Structure 1
């Protein structure tokens, strides 16, 4: 059994700026508490700059800290995250005879952290760093790259006057700043990846590659035949990944957790009416997605130039829920920040912390009032092997997105010709009579 964590670090190009900046709230640039070697500060082609500290932990692997963003229209850096990292990788096999907590049993750093080689960082730049084991030697363990993401936006504004119709096309290609590391634990190899988008979004992903663990499963309900005939069946299993996310919006901290639910609300003239309601989550707890539910972490003090409170929204990715343990059922857990709450499971293995705090359920059982919330995100993947997983296994990903909501008054990539459309601009005429 093996696990690999690829820490991708990003090397970027600096592109042309998007024009004159709109005035932003006066704010001191964050001072990063890390050395130059542990700092990533890169400007993407569209003018967005991300800066942060990075390090490798022997158990958690790649950790990003003090993450801030600025754009050409909002040039003052604003902090988003205090830290983000993996908090567990739980791997139970459907046969019921193998189960691993990879972070606390083995760890994504130390001996299991791979030195980048070959195509691991093609097109990017690899960074030297400690493997988190405490040993002084440095290895190339972080890959930093700027990667194109395709069309970022497109809008054609049409006008009509005495001379007839005319139009202005706004279109732009997007880029991500990508940080990656690789860890090999037995047969599996894992890629830890953070994608920092030029529109302010952050995507946390875990990729799995390497090889299937050896072993024969005779039961067709728990194994899938690979190779010649049906004699050899690779065992089905889960990858339950947890992340720990600690926000610190604008360096203020003390955020509020908001939950939104959309439900039916009667019938309108042409179709069903819907209503979306907000519930403020004041105390610790675990939550799952039902009734079109979503969450955001909202600053209580920091506002954009429209006077709206800044926040980041959790957008869950594809997910297979594992029902074998209570702590793997909730989609997200919010807890009051506690330095002894480090791992979503296997937390009791930390000799510096109480032995009765083992899982995220223990973190929230006292329902403490949250004045500094931490978000624990779980994303599961049920791996049903296939012939094509041989060999090496194609990369498969699981993860989630943190999407800015009211972080800036307009799209962080708004072009000059669209800056006057904040709020409720005059609608364009629709010659076809069809809108959407």
Structure 2
């Protein structure tokens, strides 16, 4: 059984830019009106039945994927596909989705941890109770050397469904009817205990094709950290005798897109600029610019900036290239290390580049051990997406006991994956680009 870490003593890249100015009310390049959509390839399972997840949601969407356990990263999801109503075949989205690191530096500079590759995150997979997975299934995860289980067979992966509220709502123009649907999600999650902390890693697969990825930190504040007498902590408990040391959680995710079954995807960045009115009867104007990211990039989120990963092979029924937009979540960027200085990285795939810091892969000499070192100007033919989401944890009285979950994450949202809202009711199916009274 593993001992708690009851103290903190634990073990300019060149970017090829092609800029296309787009008018307000951005449109993307499309084929002729008669263009026929390319069919997405059928799913073929690359895993045995025990490692498959397949869920048809009550709204008609089916998600399929494989899973496996990694000694450092914990649960990894692979071969993820999405089949909404109206699509005859599954649409491949991701080759893999997993954590890329949890970096935890303390404010006093006396401790800094890489929880995945330096402190046994994968071996910290814990058993889940039935009450934690209501209406779902708990899968057994083989965890050699499991820290928190008497057996290496850990009941550690929950798959269940959740309601999320309105998927859409529309009042008919004549007021005679309300079109509405309640959204459903497939929830896949596990918990890993690292010292006093417990990390909940969850993926929420929505019936509209959106995927939400989150890490929630809970468990306990480390009692050995109640020593922040230098003004960098917060008093916990009665009076001010105990001050919990403040610290950051910098969570990295690693995504390997495989839209329509191919990892040969493209990356685009979009920026919008608002200009002042040009006349007394004019309003402000907004111009959106597309930048094709052809070389490795260390990028930063800015107001009215976003990225998308575009299929190199597949189109929807309107003849538009399928893509997924990266939707950042709330973040507090940590400026103390070069690898945490950017919000997103796009790097060319190399098998050895697995973790955003303290990388354990057997890369060539001089390649560097962190993601910032891998942005070296290579042309992107098989881009890997790294998303960095930070949280500065200044403890509070409410953090004990146990500590409420604080979540860090982001989403990827379908953009032109289907020709219409995949949950469109039959009565509105003819509304694709043609306004009609309802």
TM-score bucket (shorter structure) = 0.7 to 0.9
Q: 2:45 aligns with which of 32, 57, 67?
A: 32
* 8 A Cα contact 1:261 1:292, kept in partner: yes
* 8 A Cα contact 1:153 1:173, kept in partner: yes
Alignment match, 1:226? 236
Alignment match, 2:32? none
Alignment match, 1:13? none
* 8 A Cα contact 1:176 1:195, kept in partner: yes
TM-score (norm 2): 0.87
2:395 corresponds to 1:385: yes
Which deviates further from its counterpart, 403-412 or 67-76? Answer: 67-76
Q: 1:142 aligns with which of 144, 157, 174?
A: 157
Alignment match, 2:288? 276
Write the deviation string for residues 152-209 of structure 1: whole angstroms up to 9, x where unpaired: 11001123xxxxxx52211111111010111111100000100000000001100110
Alignment match, 1:296? 308
CA, structure 1 residues 46+335, in 2 after alignment: closer, same or farther (shift >3 Å)? Answer: same
Superposition deviation, residue 64 in structure 1 = 0.5
2:189 corresponds to 1:180: yes
Aligned mates of 1:350, 1:284 — CA distance in 2: 19
SS in 1 for 2:170: strand
Alignment match, 2:222? 213
Aligned mates of 1:133, 1:280 — CA distance in 2: 45
2:398 corresponds to 1:398: no
Aligned mates of 1:408, 1:393 — CA distance in 2: 41
SS in 1 for 2:429: helix
Write the deviation string for residues 354-394 of structure 1: whole angstroms up to 9, x where unpaired: 46421111111x21000010100000011110101001101
CA, structure 1 residues 354+204, in 2 after alignment: closer, same or farther (shift >3 Å)? Answer: farther
Aligned mates of 2:144, 2:427 — CA distance in 1: 48
Q: 2:253 aligns with which of 243, 261, 283?
A: 243
SS in 1 for 2:430: helix
* 8 A Cα contact 1:60 1:107, kept in partner: no
Superposition deviation, residue 25 in structure 1 = 4.5
SS in 1 for 2:239: coil
SS in 2 for 1:51: strand
TM-score (norm 1): 0.87
Q: Which runs of 5+ in 2 are unaligned?
A: 7-35
Superposition deviation, residue 352 in structure 1 = 6.5
SS in 1 for 2:369: coil
SS in 1 for 2:417: coil
Alignment match, 2:374? 363
Aligned mates of 1:353, 1:393 — CA distance in 2: 42
Aligned mates of 1:219, 1:249 — CA distance in 2: 52
Superposition deviation, residue 27 in structure 1 = 3.9
Superposition deviation, residue 146 in structure 1 = 0.4
Alignment match, 1:104? 117
* 8 A Cα contact 1:2 1:188, kept in partner: no
* 8 A Cα contact 2:275 2:285, kept in partner: yes
Aligned mates of 1:226, 1:137 — CA distance in 2: 37
Aligned mates of 1:28, 1:284 — CA distance in 2: 28
CA, structure 1 residues 424+276, in 2 after alignment: closer, same or farther (shift >3 Å)? Answer: farther
How large is the Cα RMSD of the aligned pairs? Answer: 2.1
CA, structure 1 residues 114+2, in 2 after alignment: closer, same or farther (shift >3 Å)? Answer: farther
Aligned mates of 2:172, 2:358 — CA distance in 1: 55
Aligned mates of 1:69, 1:312 — CA distance in 2: 12
Superposition deviation, residue 425 in structure 1 = 1.2
Alignment match, 2:142? 130
Matches within 5 A, 1:186-205: 186-205=195-214
Q: 2:99 aligns with which of 86, 102, 106?
A: 86
Q: How many residues align?
A: 400
Q: Which runs of 5+ in 1 are unaligned?
A: 4-22, 160-165, 429-436
* 8 A Cα contact 2:197 2:218, kept in partner: yes
